[in-house]
Amino acid sequence: MFFAVNLYDLFVLDIGLFCHSKKTRISGTEDMDEAYRNPKHHIRGAIIGTFLGVVVALLSGGLIHLYRFIYRI
């Protein structure tokens, strides 16, 4: 589920909306049009977010497994 939301964020929000719409630009950054249109920053952020999500999922799953092992639920 997390990965699906991350993909939605990357393609629909970041690349689809922020890269191609001037309505979402921060005022004072109108001259940075090329930086906004470059999707590398958004793709890199999605990859980092995916790896961080995997680490959090593994840690929380490990803690739940350890809890079940200790208390024999």
15-51 residue pLDDT tens? 998 888 888 888 888 888 888 888 998 999 999 999 9
Contact of 24 with 17, CB cutoff 8 Å: yes
pLDDT at 32: 85
User: Is pLDDT above 90 for 54?
Assistant: yes
Contact of 39 with 17, CB cutoff 8 Å: no
pLDDT at 70: 95
pLDDT at 31: 84
User: Is pLDDT above 90 for 60?
Assistant: yes
pLDDT at 20: 83
The runs of H, that is alpha helices, within the chain are 2-8, 33-37, 40-71
